[in-house]
Amino acid sequence: MSKLRLAVILNPHSNRQRAAQQAPHIMAMLRHFGLEASLFKTTHVGHATSLAQQCVAEGRWDGIIAAGGDGTINEIVNGMAGSQLPLSFVPLGTGNDFVKMLKLPSNSIVEAIRSIANNQLRQIDLGMINQHWFINGVGIGLDANVAIEAQKLKRIKGGLVYIIAVLKSILRYEARDLLIETDDLTLQQRINMATVGNGGYHGGGFWVTPAAKIDDGLLDVCLTGEQSRWSMVRDSTRVRQGSHGNLPSVTMLKTRTFKLYSERGVPVHVDGEVFSANLNEISISIQPAALTIRV
């Protein structure tokens, strides 16, 4: 059997610039497991998308490895969605929510590459928001404000970034009046947070949409109504554990489409990266079996 030829797209800026130090180790481990790989480092925002498009167009690769965080994965997905090229993961980010959801090794490069070498292929769904692909989820309102606050915490390392960002957002964010339409209902409500998930983990390990499956052709939605700040702090532990579904302020549902309208506008993140600080209209849909992954 010939060796798999893999293109490694690495974001050297992932995890506060520390990902760049891992490149030699990654390439050595790929060789150790009998994989033939070439390294491509990103240099600017959007570069991973163009590199993935290039790999698809060349037709000489057996797959792409995303070496970075959730944002890097998102960029690569936007360059290869709909192709037959499988995507694999070497997680180097701060949150690594999507990889955790897959129950893949999230803190061991060796185990991540061992998983790739096993060469097990799986088709998964992708979501689309306003003509932009996502693999894990969309956060609207408080959830997105957490991503905005996390961007500001340049000097803090690891998961502590998200905990601080959550607390700051709880203290500062104001709920919005939203009109929401899904397959089965229309509701107008004052909402603190809306999470639309293909995967289940969001915001650095919060199990916001715990019933989500990446191959069921459905989006999982968690809506949180307006609450006092104390209630939000108190309930955050439940959200982290995924046991918040029966809280009075929470609505959980499944749908193929999700539309949102806000006169004031809402902040939005996509796969953990700030998508917009203020959107008035959002249209989200699920695209079944749109991506092949090698895990």
pLDDT values of the chain reduced to their tens digit, one per residue, 295 residues: 578 999 999 999 886 667 788 999 999 999 999 999 999 999 999 999 999 999 999 999 999 999 999 999 999 999 999 999 999 999 988 778 888 888 887 778 999 999 999 999 999 999 999 999 999 999 999 989 988 888 888 777 666 887 888 888 888 899 999 999 999 999 999 999 999 999 998 877 788 999 999 999 999 999 999 988 888 878 878 888 888 989 999 999 999 999 999 999 999 999 989 999 999 999 999 999 999 999 8
Tell me, yes or no, whether 294 lies in a domain. Answer: no
The domain containing residue 170 runs over which residues?
132-287
Give the per-residue pLDDT at 16: 63
Do 222 and 95 fall into the same domain?
A: no
Do 174 and 113 fall into the same domain?
A: no
* 127 vs 124: CA distance, rounded Å: 10
pTM of the model: 0.92
Contact by Cβ (8 Å): 294, 86? yes
Tell me, yes or no, whether 208 lies in a domain. Answer: yes
User: Residue 242, class by beta-carbon neighbours within 10 Å (0-12 exposed, 13-18 middle, 19+ buried)?
Assistant: middle
Nearby residues of 117 by Cβ (< 8 Å), 6 or more positions away: 33, 34, 35
Do 90 and 164 fall into the same domain?
A: no
CATH number reported for the structural domain that contains residue 25 in this entry = 3.40.50.10330
Instruction: Find the DSSP H helices in 160-214.
Output: 160-172
Nearby residues of 6 by Cβ (< 8 Å), 6 or more positions away: 30, 35, 36, 37, 38, 61, 62, 63, 64, 65, 88, 116
Do 84 and 145 fall into the same domain?
A: no
Do 77 and 187 fall into the same domain?
A: no
Give the per-residue pLDDT at 218: 99
How many alpha carbons fall within 13 Å on the CB side of residue 254?
11
Do 113 and 147 fall into the same domain?
A: no
Do 71 and 155 fall into the same domain?
A: no
Tokens of residue 247, six digits = 């809280």
Do 33 and 100 fall into the same domain?
A: yes
Q: How many domains does the chain have?
A: 2
